[in-house]
């Protein structure tokens, strides 16, 4: 074979992303007897899912709540819709909550090692915004456990996994998505992947922000790929800030720490959540707790540098060692603090993207042949604020359901023409060559750093029009400066600088989408808090923000939320 000949791989279903969503989807495609393959820019076990700590929600009702009624999927749906500040689509929420218990049991049957009660049943801990102890967990390493479990299943079935392949573009032919191009990071060779249907399962975009709990690889590539290919994005201004990330490094300290009884204290030793959420206290939803901590710090009741304390000492050494071993180790290694003896310094950090690729209940994007699920998608189960423990649930439930929908839809998609993939490969090859030839100008690092700082300071926990306008202008300036960026490494193989460059290109687009959505939404709802519009405005904004790319640039429109069992009311905790 001529080394310059394009390499085209053909599969029925191409799954881009090897986290929980991608791996669960791959199994369903396999069960249907179809040829599916997974493509991932890192080894699947390094996907961010592996870092999930606190747990996965399901109304198993293994631990009684405070009242006499046991937990139910309807109560789970109610908490989720209320937590979302009524922006979640209630049909999607009902579907997820109904499937939750079976999903936890399915993982159990695959070999997942859930933590147990003395009775032998799967243990459940209280989490923020939940009326019952509903979060199933594997100590504080739930994602690690779940991802290894699914990966074993994928390996056992010899499902092909293209590891360390970076998707650079979606192939669109005759208005339909027919796969992607991807650079093999080791060799720098561009490959074509031709598929009847393509599923994006590429995770979140936390790293567009500074102070993020996310893995360095969470750069939102899938959202950018879809957007550039013509698929709109939804609700991108809703960015979750987790109340407790470790001061200094922003490594996550799970909500499970408060679920086990941990308390937040300000510099005066006061349990300040009593003033912000008198009933739920430290276990109010994340948007409420993050705002409370920021307010304490802004009003001078935090510690120097901007943090408060998370106190776990009263839980006792045994419980901390058994239920929160990972958290203890992180606090010792990265803050020099042993939670058995001292409180942990924490501050809010960017954590999760509620918004993503606009898809329907079946995961289908508006571009035929393209589907999305997991954190990169917005099927809208989290609305304006996600409850802890609902994302791991979403990945496995919709990894399965969306793959099932693809299997159902597949007969309508013919096998794509090989030439389209070949043409896309040569186009992408030329583009990479041009990038590697660039000289002089800026370094990608400085553009990226400025972008992250702008996002955190202008589109953070508290927002207002003036700051956001200035932020948007700064983002468009960075987009201009990015055009001059060159790389100091011009090799094709193992060029991590090239991968970071391609990520940054997409991050600059997503930042603008967040900014335009946040400016257009003139209200406060869930994680989107505007000092200039402090109230929720259901008359105008009980609606999803839809961002699309047109010849005039990014355009924003709104689409009504699908309501259902629960009518919007004021949210109090
Ligand atoms: C520290 C932390 C703790 C968390 N704890 C919890 C928790 O306890 N409970 C909970 O419900 N949620 C938790 N979350 C959220 C939850 O873990 C994530 O939302 C979820 O795991 C995302 O899964 P995913 O399958 O959508 O994507 P990911 O697991 O992020 O996987 C994305 C995949 O896409 C691939 N990819 C991306 N771009 C490309 C590209 N260009 N080319 C090829 N491949 C690409 C990556 O290689 C990776 O395999 C936590 C999140 C963090 C950051």
Domain topology for 431-536: Methane Monooxygenase Hydroxylase; Chain G, domain 1 (1.20.58)
- Mutational test site, ligand 1, from 151, 392, 504, 510, max ligand atoms within 8 Å of CB: 392
Q: Which atom of ligand 1 is nearest to the CA of 377?
A: 26
Q: What is the mean pLDDT of residues 227-236?
A: 98
What span, in angstroms and rounded, lies between the C-alpha atoms of 180 and 216? 23
State residue 195 phi and psi, 5-degree precision: -145, 155
- Mutational test site, ligand 1, from 14, 15, 16, 17, max ligand atoms within 8 Å of CB: 17
For residue 554, what are the β-bridge partners?
549
Tell me if 221 CB under 6 Å of ligand 1: yes
Tell me if 219 CB under 6 Å of ligand 1: no
Atom 9, ligand 1: residue with shortest CA distance: 389
- The rounded percent of the chain whose pLDDT value lies above 70 is 99
Atom 4, ligand 1: residue with shortest CA distance: 52
Distances (CA, A) of 405 to 36, 365, 464: 14, 12, 41
Q: How far is the CA of 405 from the centre of ligand 1 (A)?
A: 22
- Mutational test site, ligand 1, from 184, 203, 356, max ligand atoms within 8 Å of CB: 203
What's the pLDDT band for 417 if we cut at 50, 70, 90?
confident
Domain(s) labelled CATH 1.20.58.100 in the chain stretch across 431-536
Domain(s) labelled CATH 3.90.700.10 in the chain stretch across 242-349
The helix (H) or strand (E) run that includes residue 197 is strand 190-200
Q: How far is the CA of 43 from the centre of ligand 1 (A)?
A: 13
- The rounded percent of the chain whose pLDDT value lies above 90 is 98
Q: Which atom of ligand 1 is nearest to the CA of 54?
A: 8
Neighbours of 520 (CB within 10 A): 15
Residue in 24, 46, 286, 516 annotated catalytic: 286
Q: Which atom of ligand 1 is nearest to the CA of 166?
A: 42
In tens, the pLDDT along 9-38 reads 999 999 999 999 999 999 999 999 999 999
3-state secondary structure 218-257: CCCHHHHHHHHCCCCEECCCCEEEEEEEECCCCCECCCHH
Q: What is the mean pLDDT of residues 219-238?
A: 98
Q: How far is the CA of 437 from the centre of ligand 1 (A)?
A: 33
C-beta of residue 389 within 8 angstroms of C-beta of residue 143: no
Q: How far is the CA of 49 from the centre of ligand 1 (A)?
A: 4
- Give the per-residue pLDDT at 5: 78
Is 530 tagged catalytic?
A: no
Q: What is the mean pLDDT of residues 515-528?
A: 98
- Give the per-residue pLDDT at 3: 56
Atom 51, ligand 1: residue with shortest CA distance: 52
What's the pLDDT band for 447 if we cut at 50, 70, 90?
very high
In tens, the pLDDT along 326-342 reads 999 999 999 999 999 99
CATH architecture group of domain 242-349: Alpha-Beta Complex (3.90)
Tell me if 356 CB under 6 Å of ligand 1: no
Mean confidence (pLDDT) of the chain: 97
Tell me if 320 CB under 6 Å of ligand 1: no
- Give the per-residue pLDDT at 530: 98
Beta strand pairing status for 36-40 and 7-16? parallel
Q: Which atom of ligand 1 is nearest to the CA of 255?
A: 8
Atom 15, ligand 1: residue with shortest CA distance: 391
pLDDT above 90 (res 373): yes
What's the pLDDT band for 561 if we cut at 50, 70, 90?
very high
Q: How far is the CA of 221 from the centre of ligand 1 (A)?
A: 12
The helix (H) or strand (E) run that includes residue 24 is helix 20-31
Q: Which atom of ligand 1 is nearest to the CA of 252?
A: 1
Tell me if 49 CB under 6 Å of ligand 1: yes
- Mutational test site, ligand 1, from 14, 15, 19, max ligand atoms within 8 Å of CB: 19
What span, in angstroms and rounded, lies between the C-alpha atoms of 296 and 390? 28
Q: What is the mean pLDDT of residues 365-370?
A: 98
């Amino acid at each position: 074979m001529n080394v310059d000949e394009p390499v085209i791989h053909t599969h029925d279903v191409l799954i881009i992303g090897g986290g929980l969503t991608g791996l669960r989807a791959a199994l369903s495609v396999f069960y249907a007897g179809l040829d599916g393959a997974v493509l991932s820019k890192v080894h699947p076990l390094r996907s961010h899912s592996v870092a999930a700590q606190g747990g996965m929600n399901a109304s198993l009702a293994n631990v009684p709540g405070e009242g006499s009624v046991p937990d139910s999927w309807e109560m789970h749906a109610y908490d989720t819709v209320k937590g979302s500040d009524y922006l979640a689509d209630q049909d999607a929420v009902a579907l997820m909550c109904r499937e939750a218990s079976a999903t936890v049991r399915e993982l159990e049957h695959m070999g997942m090692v859930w933590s147990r009660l003395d009775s032998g049943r799967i243990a459940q801990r209280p989490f923020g915004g939940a009326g019952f102890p509903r979060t199933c967990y594997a100590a504080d390493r739930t994602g690690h456990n779940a991802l290894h479990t699914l990966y074993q299943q994928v390996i056992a079935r010899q499902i092909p996994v293209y590891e360390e392949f970076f998707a650079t573009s979606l192939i669109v032919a005759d208005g339909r998505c027919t796969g992607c191009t991807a650079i093999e990071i080791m060799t720098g060779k561009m490959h074509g992947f031709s598929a009847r249907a393509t599923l994006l399962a590429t995770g979140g975009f936390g790293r567009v922000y500074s102070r993020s709990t996310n893995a360095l690889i969470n750069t939102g590539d899938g959202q950018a790929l879809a957007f550039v290919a013509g698929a709109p994005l939804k609700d991108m201004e809703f960015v979750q800030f987790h109340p407790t990330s470790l001061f200094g490094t922003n490594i996550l300290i799970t909500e499970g720490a408060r679920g086990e009884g941990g308390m937040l204290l300000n510099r005066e030793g006061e349990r300040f959540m009593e003033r912000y959420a008198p009933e739920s206290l430290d276990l109010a939803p994340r948007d409420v707790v993050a705002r409370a901590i920021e307010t304490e710090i802004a009003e001078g009741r935090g510690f120097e540098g901007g943090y408060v304390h998370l106190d776990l000492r009263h839980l006792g050494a045994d419980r901390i060692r058994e239920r929160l071993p990972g958290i203890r180790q992180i606090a010792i290694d990265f803050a020099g603090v042993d939670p058995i003896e001292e409180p942990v310094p924490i501050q809010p950090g960017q954590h999760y993207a509620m918004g993503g690729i606009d898809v329907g209940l079946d995961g289908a994007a508006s571009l035929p042949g393209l589907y999305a699920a997991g954190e990169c998608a917005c099927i809208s189960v989290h609305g304006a604020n996600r409850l802890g423990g609902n994302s791991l649930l979403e990945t496995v439930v919709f990894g399965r359901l969306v793959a099932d929908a693809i299997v159902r839809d597949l007969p309508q998609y013919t096998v794509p023409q090989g030439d389209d993939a070949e043409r896309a490969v040569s186009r992408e090859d030329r583009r990479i060559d041009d990038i590697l030839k660039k000289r002089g100008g800026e370094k990608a690092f400085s553009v990226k750093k400025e972008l992250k700082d702008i996002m955190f300071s202008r589109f953070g926990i508290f927002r207002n029009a003036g700051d956001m306008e200035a932020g948007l202008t700064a983002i468009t300036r960075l987009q201009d400066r990015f055009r001059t960026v060159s790389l100091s490494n011009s090799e094709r193989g193992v060029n991590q600088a090239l991968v970071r460059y391609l990520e940054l290109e997409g991050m600059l687009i997503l930042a603008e989408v967040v900014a335009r959505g946040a400016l257009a939404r003139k209200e406060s709802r869930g994680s989107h808090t505007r000092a200039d519009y402090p109230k929720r405005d259901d008359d105008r904004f009980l609606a999803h923000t839809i961002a699309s790319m047109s010849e005039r640039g990014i355009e924003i429109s709104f689409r009504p939320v699908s309501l259902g069992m629960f009518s919007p009311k004021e949210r109090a905790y």
